[in-house]
Amino acid sequence: MTGVFMVTDSVFDSGVTLTFWPFQLTSGDWISTGFAEVGTGNLAGGFGNDMEIFNIVLAIDFGRPVEGLRFFFGEYGGNTNLTINGDFRNEEDFSLLHGQIVGGTMVEVLSLPGGLGILRIMGTVSSFPIGGQELAIDDVCDSTIFEDGFELGDTSLWSVSVL
């Protein structure tokens, strides 16, 4: 699949719904002109394709609460938006959330060279929107076993709808 995802687009894959929302800048202003696309540049350090996110929020819905999440990321500039269970954070980068309680969960961030990292959320996650100005994510899955998750592999099977 090729293409660009804009605010209000939704993608359905393997029982997971991805919906694209407006993004909050460091200034506190909200913008809805961002976009996201599936990329092949391995910018998040995971396996296969990445979701490359530019001034937009990606809400990931597994259809039910999951016990913890883990994902690879690559931060390349600007701020990040992270919401867990309705608790919104707007930070310069994910490392500032390491050791924090967000939405009743514990956030751990392992920062790696080159802007790469792994973010792990421990606890029950009912809602999970994530965004950035220049951000890539990959291999979003249950943090204990790969029971629930998605890999941006064969995107030709995705269907996109505009709300």
Domains and CATH numbers, the chain: 9-148 (2.60.120)
CB contact set of 128 (below 8 Å; sequence gap of 6+):
59, 60, 61, 69, 83, 84, 121
* Residue 101 vs residues 38, 145, 159, 161: alpha-carbon distances, Å: 30, 22, 35, 34
Task: Tell me which amino acid residue 156 is.
Answer: S
User: C-alpha 31: how far from its chain's center?
Assistant: 17
Residue 5 DSSP class: B
Q: What is the pLDDT of residues 116-143, one digit of tens each?
A: 999 999 999 999 999 999 999 999 987 6
Any idea what the Cα angle at residue 18 is, between residues 16 and 24, rounded to 5°?
145
> Would you call 74 exposed, middle or buried from its count of C-beta atoms within 10 A (0-12, 13-18, 19+)?
buried
Q: What is the pLDDT of residues 34-90, one digit of tens each?
A: 999 999 889 999 888 899 999 999 999 999 999 999 999 999 999 999 999 999 999
